[in-house]
Chain A
Amino acid sequence: MADDVKALSAELAQDPDSLVFLRLGELLRHKGHLDAAHRVALTGLERHPHLADAHDLYARILADKHDFERAFDEWDMTLRIAPDHLGALKGLAFLYFKVGDVQQAAAHLEAAQRVAPDDTGIAQALALAHGGEGGAGPASPAPEPLAPSPAAQPLEEARVFAGLEGAEEGLLLLDPSGRVLGGALKDPAGRDVADAVAAYLAGVSQEAGRTAKLLGLGTWTGLAAEGQHGHVHLTPPTGSALLLVVRGRAVPMGRLAIIAQRAAVAARRWLEAQA
């Protein structure tokens, strides 16, 4: 375990922008080194202020330190960034239990169950909540250990786009809450940025959908953007999933749209096969 901390610390020191702080912070929290975990989480948050998992990690540490009010704020912020964030839904349910608001606790657990219907821990807590309503009040269940965050997991479904140009570094398929379903994404320096970008893209697609709808433009079909170091094309290949194609500036936007169309066909096929 100490070796893990050392290895993760070294990894973070080598690349302070990486998301390894999530794993390091969680490991330190588990070992009870709350002050160290607190520092790691705060430093990570400074670099990734819009990353839902970073706020969730910080909230867990605050909850362990019994700073429930700030933990509440952090989990609230997590849900603003990622409305279906499981950790935040469970965390808020835990805090509501603590203050005796069983109804709100149950509402958050129900939302968590919609996100993760197979999570037996949620079902148990929910049963406890329903059993506790109107009764003497349930014992407060401690928040469950952090499930390995999407940010910390290796991509296992890179084969969605097998054979397509850039499948190993510039194609990403996401679910509506910003979790990676397949593909891979690297920044111009070759670092894996799939999870960080995925977390932000959930907000982008929600905003794109709302903008098109409220401005009377109908359903949005794509979002293309030029950056200083590369181009991006975002499309919803099905009603809920999201496909991102990234290429260097040398690839013209029109060609990017064609690559995106081909990738969307592959993504739809893959999604149908999973259904």
Chain B
Amino acid sequence: MTTRAIEPWIFEPLVKFVKEAGARLVLLMTSAGQVLAQHGFSRAVDVMSAAALGAAIMASTDEIARQLRQPPFAALNHQGERHGIFLAAVTTGRGRLVVLVVYDLDASSLGLVQLFFEQLVADLQAASPKESVPKQVLAADFERELSDSLNTLFGR
């Protein structure tokens, strides 16, 4: 299965996480839903919708936490019959990033995903560039940025 990263520092920690946690799909994105890396997706349209939905869920729970005057929730987990979805944020030198993980209950578990997510957080924090913040995508450049990102994420 393919792992692709727009920013090279993400690649190794992500590959390691996928292998150890037995994750089926992974998206790493900014809080705004801009995808920085993916594993396991075969179609660009799936990446775009998963990123939009993941970022929206994070934004909603952040807002609930804010209204409850609590710090943001650490992670969310939804478990279905065959798959689980794990969504959590990680603070790196490149700002706050969101990680969406889909795992098969046959091949992995919430415990394994949580365990190796901790390692992923540490690896990303160690590998991330320290000074810069994620580049804001300007409206005028949006389509080109999106197209470039998807090309990288699917190795085209």
- CB B103 to nearest CB in A, in angstroms, measures 10
Question: When the two chains form their complex, are residues B40 and A50 in contact, meaning their CB atoms are under 8 A apart?
Answer: no
Which B residues from 1 to 49 make CB contacts under 8 A with A? 1-2, 20, 22, 24, 40, 42-43
Contact B1 A50 (CB under 8 A): no
Whole-angstrom distance between the Cβ of A84 and the nearest chain B Cβ: 14
Residues from chain A with a CB closer than 8 A to the CB of B24 are 76, 80
Tell whether B62 is near chain A: CB-to-CB under 8 Å.
Answer: no
Count B-side interface residues using an 8 Å CB cutoff.
14
Using a CB–CB cutoff of 8 Å, the interface residues on chain A facing chain B are 49-50, 69, 72, 76-77, 79-81, 92, 101, 103-104, 210
Q: Are A69 and B155 in contact (CB under 8 A)?
A: no
> B153 to chain A: closest CB distance in Å?
12
Q: In whole angstroms, how far apart are the Cα atoms of A210 and B22 in the complex? A: 13
A96 to B, closest residue via Cβ: B2
CB-CB < 8 A to A210: which residues of B? 20
Closest to B155 in A: A101
Q: Which of A49, A77, A80, A92 has the most CB atoms of chain B within a 10 A radius of its CB?
A: A80
Q: CA of A139 to CA of B2 in the docked complex: distance in angstroms?
A: 22
Q: Which residue of B lies closest to A50 (CB)?
A: B106
Please give me the residue from chain A that is nearest to B1 by CB atom: A76
Which residues of B103-125 are within 8 A (CB) of A? 104, 106-107
Beta-carbon contact of A80 and B155 below 8 Å: no
A49 to B106 Cα, complex, angstroms? 9
Of chain B, the residue at the smallest CB distance from A104 is: B2
How far apart are the CA atoms of A76 and B107 in the complex, in Å? 12
Q: Contact check, B107 vs A81: say whether CB atoms are below 8 A apart.
A: yes
| Minimum CB–CB distance for A31 against chain B, Å | 30
Q: How far is the CA of A69 from the CA of B155 in the complex (A)?
A: 17
Assembly CA distance A80 to B104 (angstroms) = 10
Bound-state CA distance A210–B16 (Å) is 14
With A103-B155, A104-B155 already in contact, the answer to whether A80 and B22 are too (CB < 8 A) is yes
**Smallest CB gap from A68: residue in B:** B42
Alpha-carbon gap, A103 to B3, bound state (A): 13
11 contacts between A and B (CB under 8 A): A69-B43, A72-B42, A76-B24, A79-B1, A80-B24, A80-B107, A81-B107, A101-B155, A104-B2, A104-B155, A210-B20
Contact (Cβ within 8 A) B106 A76: no
A76 and B40: CB pair below 8 A?
Answer: yes
* Nearest opposing residue in chain A for B2, CB measure: A104
How far, in whole Å, are A162 and B53 apart by their CA atoms in the complex? Answer: 60
User: Which residues on the B side are within 8 Å of A72 (C-beta)?
Assistant: 42
A101–B20 Cα gap in the complex (Å)? 26
Give A81's nearest chain B residue, CB to CB: B107
The residue in chain B whose Cβ has the minimal distance to the Cβ of A203 is B107
Q: Which residues of B contact A104 (CB under 8 A)?
A: 2, 155
Give Cα distance in the complex from A101 to B104, angstroms. Answer: 26
Q: Determine how close the nearest CB of chain A comes to the CB of B11; give it in whole angstroms.
A: 14
